[in-house]
Amino acid sequence: MSRIVKSEVITPLLSWDITVPLLTNRFMLFDFARWMLLTYGVMMLVACLIGLFARDLGVLWGVCQLFGLVCAGITVLFVVIMLIVFRNRMELAFVIDKDGVNALVASRRAKAGNRLAMLLGLLAGKPGVAGAGLLARAQENTRLEFAELRRVRFSPGPAVISLRDKWFRHVRLYCRPDNYAEVEKLVERGLALAASKVRPVRDPG
């Protein structure tokens, strides 16, 4: 005789959407730089491996220069895309429940752009472009559990709450001026219910 297992339905406590600037937002710039550095790090590792297998410092230096130019080109390309395609803004959505938070990219242009970057990078044989697109796609729908958080930072001035879990996944809750206080209370409540030992850091202002 089969047994029916009822799954728990998680009720959202608060949900909202917001449009945030890209290149004129210090948090977005920091996250963009982090993604790019990770991509560049992988590319430089590949360059070093090529040089080591070639056993020629000249080859290693040449490959590093080539990858440096590619990285610079990717950065310029991304800046142009953010300004022209995305018009320096991104639509995001957030959901908070008793167990954690969900951050979603609501912009159709962003989702299409991430997939296009992956496709073009693969077709052109450029792992940097494909890797950046893959990383961005992985961030389209991110969930963090309160019980797994290791760092929480409240920034009431710009109305942003930064979260990081034990797997070093990051989520920034971009709040509206009229709901920041409520979001902060829900995050603190979630940490308390999860018996978290995290001590949130609070920026002045």
Residue pair 83/75 in contact (Cβ under 8 Å)? The answer is no
Nearest to 31 by CA among 187, 168, 146, 166: 168
Q: Out of 5-14, 17-26, 125-134, 178-187, which region has the weakest mean confidence (pLDDT)?
A: 125-134
Judged against a pLDDT cut of 60, whether residue 23 lies above it is answered with yes
In a domain, 201, yes or no: no
Which amino acid, residue 150?
R
Residue 7 in any domain: the answer is no
Q: Is residue 95 part of a domain?
A: yes
Domain-located, residue 67: yes
User: Could you give the CA distance from residue 114 to residue 117 in angstroms, rounded to a whole number?
Assistant: 5
Does 204 reside within a domain?
no
Which pLDDT belongs to residue 95?
A: 95
Q: In this predicted model, what pLDDT tens digit does every residue of 85-106 receive, in sequence order?
A: 888 988 899 999 999 999 998 7
Q: Is the pLDDT of residue 166 over 60?
A: yes
Share of the chain above pLDDT 70, in %: 79
Q: Running DSSP on this structure, what letter comes out for residue 200?
A: -
Banded model confidence at residue 34, pLDDT cuts 50, 70, 90: confident
| 140 belongs to a structural domain | yes
Average pLDDT across the chain, whole number: 80
What pLDDT shows up at residue 115?
A: 46
Q: Kindly state whether residue 109 falls inside one of the protein's structural domains.
A: yes
**H helix or E strand, kind and range, residue 136:** helix 127-138
Check residue 121 and give its pLDDT.
46
**Position 134 pLDDT exceeds 80:** no
Higher local confidence (pLDDT), 155 or 142: 155
Give the model's pLDDT for residue 168.
86
How many domains would you assign to the chain? 1
Residue 79 belongs to a domain: yes
> What is the percent of the chain where pLDDT is above 90?
40
Average pLDDT of span 177-202: 96
73 has a pLDDT exceeding 70? yes
Model pTM?
Answer: 0.74
- Domain of residue 39, residue span: 14-196
Could you tell me the pLDDT band of residue 67, with boundaries at 50, 70 and 90? confident
